[in-house]
């Protein structure tokens, strides 16, 4: 349903709603607009461990920091070529 709704809106306005350059950037844009998805949705996601980590103090998933995302998902030789998302703040903890 989500994808169908996004696609319909994008066709209507002729612009991408969340124009991320890669999955982390796009997830950051979605979370900033819609908020963090519920824990059960993140827990059942196939990309959970790529994008999120469990915060035991808050008892919820949080989006990984950009440096953590780089370290766990991008080979070291490509770290310099990955552009930092424009809306990323280094103290981000969504």
**pLDDT digit string, tens, across residues 47-61:** 999 999 999 999 999
Q: Do the domain assignments include residue 4?
A: no
Mean pLDDT of 21-46: 90
Q: Do the domain assignments include residue 6?
A: no
Q: Do the domain assignments include residue 33?
A: yes
Q: Do the domain assignments include residue 14?
A: no
pTM of the full structure: 0.72
Tally Cβ neighbours within 10 Å of residue 64.
21
The predicted pLDDT at position 60 comes to 94
Residue range of the domain that includes 34 = 19-94
Q: Do the domain assignments include residue 40?
A: yes
Q: What total number of domains does the chain contain?
A: 1
Whole-number Cα distances in Å, 93 to 52, 67, 68, 75, 90: 11, 12, 12, 24, 9
Q: Do the domain assignments include residue 9?
A: no
Which is nearest to 51 in space by CA: 3, 59, 37?
A: 37
Q: Do the domain assignments include residue 3?
A: no
Q: Do the domain assignments include residue 86?
A: yes
Question: What does the alpha-carbon distance between residue 73 and residue 59 come to, in Å, rounded to a whole number?
Answer: 24
């Amino acid at each position: 349903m989500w994808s169908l709704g996004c696609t319909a809106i994008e066709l209507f306005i002729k612009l991408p709603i969340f124009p991320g350059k890669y999955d982390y950037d796009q997830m950051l844009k979605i979370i900033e607009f819609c908020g963090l998805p519920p824990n059960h949705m993140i827990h059942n996601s196939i990309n959970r461990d790529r994008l999120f980590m469990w915060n035991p103090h808050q008892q919820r998933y949080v989006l990984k920091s950009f440096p953590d995302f780089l370290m766990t998902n991008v080979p070291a030789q490509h770290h310099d070529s990955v552009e930092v998302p424009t809306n990323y703040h280094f103290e981000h903890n969504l």
